[in-house]
Chains A and B, each alone.
Chain A
Amino acid sequence: MHDKTLTELAAGLEAGEFSSRELTQALLARIERLDGELNSLITVTPDQALEAADKADAARAKGDTARLNGLPLAIKDLFCTEGVRTTAGSRMLDNFIAPYDATVVEKLKAAGTVSLGKTNLDEFAMGSSNENSFYGPVKNPWDTNAVPGGSSGGSAAAVAAGLVPAAMGTDTGGSIRQPAAFCGITGLKPTYGRVSRYGIIAYASSLDQAGPMARTAEDCAHLLGAIAGHDLRDSTSVARGVPDYTEELNAPLTGLKIGLPKEYFGDGLDAGVEAAVREAVKVYESLGATVREVSLPHTHYAIPAYYVIAPAEASSNLSRYDGVRFGHRCDNPADLIDLYKRSRAEGFGEEVKRRILIGTHTLSEGFFDAYYKKAQQVRRLIRQDFLDAFEEVDVLMGPTSPTPAFDLGANKDPVSMYLQDIYTIAVNLAGIPGISVPAGFVGQRPAEGRPAEGRPAEGRPVGLQILGTHFAESRLLNVAHQFQQATDWHCRRPAIAEETR
């Protein structure tokens, strides 16, 4: 059962081949056996999961045929889950039991899904490798010497390893798409405002967006339909109807106009990644699409602009962790200032402190115009690049990440880590949707200490990123689904996913 897509599992439940309880038990047992090695989950919730599964089975027995009823998944530990510890991967929230559900969690429960637990992540979603978690790094199921990507690395690894068929992620600068690419799964970042941010622990509020991570675009379409929509509790969520995202999945791609941004195929792009992406584009040509080169001239300003805007918003958002109302408090504070300073010094990890300091500095008196205002102006130019490109083409395609998954510990320098997000970050600044789909592998280079036995060298996965204009999720899912009808990269599984012991 662990190898099936959500769509296949839904059919199995529908046909009575197994119950939600049986499915839930089987996956909980796999988590127990295999997650010690991967560390993809921070908290497993077997009791709540079995209770939800029984409820789903009972509803089905009474004739409830809701599409997602009884289907298991996992939730990034950035979403508040009532009564369940919600850590954000931080020591600061190690003891935090959320008193309410995020809107996404509430909607998933209402749809009948069964959450098996909370997935590991970079602390407060700040990172591209999952190495910044207080709970330790996650290992990539394809190669346990490699990172799974970040910040939704636990969600991506859990899906790739067959511990859950789907998981929720969040994406502020690539945090759904890049780990999806590194772990060989499908991940969708919706348009900013498409999914409510209520109850998602905030990192950078003008960039954060939640989305589904699964094995196929079809599964992502079902999940997006369940979580999207306007929410009065998130003033930035968009009041716009939610279409049936599965409706256009099978539309033919004849006449689809694809743009390849020339800036996405430049220096620093791994040759194997480029070859895989260009092969994928050929598949689209064979499906009737036309391809042309386009330009996004401000591409190389995206990372500098992001590292002003995101830390500035983070420094403000994270000021709430003061050791007073919730979260970590230091022992024996001398006075109130000491309480604040030591609680925060002890509760936050290194990358979080770095971003709080950068954000506080750039927002402080004398620096605001040079940094924050300038970055917001550049943000408009970056968005305009995309809007201009979408006047000419329907979708943009390129690599999700310049390299396949890198080795654990390979990027010690923060700036070199930031540069990993070159193809994903501009998308958040512009607020447009993007999806990463598996598009091949890069042959394995020998790495020291690589465990050879039981972990054959399939290589490391490559992700194809497809971008559309604001609210073009149906089109992106259609374009991704058609690729998955023509190729089988999304059906490949790492050795650990085949383990049935």
Chain B
Amino acid sequence: MAIDKTDVLRAAHLARLGLNDEEASHYQDDLGRILAMVDQLQGLNTEGVAPLAHPLDATQRLRADEVTETDRREQFQRCAPAVEEGLYLVPRVVE
């Protein structure tokens, strides 16, 4: 399946990745070649084959709903770009 520039820009927006026009053209080229390689998969008949998500077919284990972690907010926020009174700061969202 070919990829056009609109697809690249759409993916970039969904991924919140800033791309200028020139970069989008560059990635359109790369992604086109990668997808051409990936398209070999379409030649294989996989009818009736169940998708494999985990190599050991393991499923999510459950645990008791109990608090096991301690509050380490202060430590975790030390690596944040901007915090105030325990809150992460971002540009104003609501006027």
The answer to whether B38 and A319 touch across the interface, beta carbons within 8 angstroms, is no
Bound Cα distance A151, B30 (Å)? 21
Which secondary structure dominates where chain A touches chain B? helix
- The answer to the question of A371 belonging to the interface, with a C-beta cut-off of 8 Å to chain B, is yes
**Which one, A206, A322, A345, A431, contacts B18 given CB within 8 A?**
A345
Please state if A376 and B51 are interface contacts (CB–CB under 8 Å). Answer: yes
Q: Which of A177-185, A329-337, A472-480 contacts B (4 or more CB under 8 A)?
A: A329-337
Some 5 contacts from A to B, beta carbons below 8 A apart, are A99-B72, A324-B90, A344-B17, A356-B15, A380-B49
User: How close is B86's CB to chain A, nearest CB, in angstroms?
Assistant: 13
- Nearest residue (CB) in B for A324 is B88
Size category of the binding interface on chain A:
35 or more
Asked whether, in the complex, the Cβ of B38 is within 8 Å of the Cβ of A304, the reply is: yes
Is B67 among interface residues, defined by CB-CB distance under 8 A?
A: no
Nearest chain A residue, comparing its CB with the CB of B92: A335
A303 touches B17 (CB 8 A): no
Q: Determine whether the beta carbon of B91 is less than 8 Å from that of A335.
A: yes
Task: Please give me the residue from chain B that is nearest to A316 by CB atom.
Answer: B15
B25-46 vs A, Cβ < 8 Å mask (1 yes, 0 no) = 0010011011101111110101
Question: Do B80 and A374 have beta carbons less than 8 Å apart?
Answer: no
Q: How far is the CA of A339 from the CA of B41 in the complex (A)?
A: 37
The 10 closest A-B pairs by CB, nearest first: A431-B55, A376-B51, A345-B18, A341-B18, A329-B81, A380-B52, A377-B46, A340-B16, A360-B11, A377-B49
How far apart are B39's CB and chain A's nearest CB, in angstroms?
A: 8
Q: Which residues of B contact A337 (CB under 8 A)?
A: 16
- Give the shortest distance, in Å, between A136 (CB) and chain B (any CB): 22
- Is there a chain B Cβ closer than 8 Å to A257's Cβ? no
Check A489 for interface membership: any CB of B closer than 8 A. no
How distant is the Cα of A319 from the Cα of B41 in the complex, in angstroms? 27
Question: Which of A28-36, A232-240, A273-281 is near enough to bind chain B?
Answer: A232-240
Q: Specify which chain B residues have a CB less than 8 angstroms from the CB of A326 in the assembled complex.
A: 79-81
Q: How far is the CA of A468 from the CA of B60 in the complex (A)?
A: 25
Which of A298, A303, A354, A379 is close to B31, meaning CB atoms less than 8 Å apart? A354
Q: Are B17 and A357 in contact (CB under 8 A)?
A: yes
Which residues of chain B have C-beta atoms less than 8 A from A380's C-beta?
Answer: 49-52
| CB–CB B31/A357 < 8 A | yes
The chain B residue sitting closest to A98, CB to CB, is B79
Tell me if A358 and B1 are in contact (CB < 8 A).
no
A361 contacts chain B at the CB level, 8 A cutoff = yes
**1/0 per position for A341-369, CB-CB distance to B under 8 A?**
11011001000011011101110100100
Least CB separation from B63: chain A residue: A232
CA gap between A304 and B31 in the complex, in Å: 13
A342 touches B18 (CB 8 A): yes
Closest CB in chain B relative to A418 CB, distance in Å: 7
Question: Does A445 touch B at the CB level, under 8 Å?
Answer: no
Bound: A339/B18 CA distance, A: 10
CB-CB under 8 A from B72, the residues of chain A are 99
**B16→A341 contact, CB < 8 A:** yes
B34 touches A414 (CB 8 A): yes
Contact call A236/B88, Cβ cutoff below 8 A: no
A193 within 8 A of partner (CB): yes
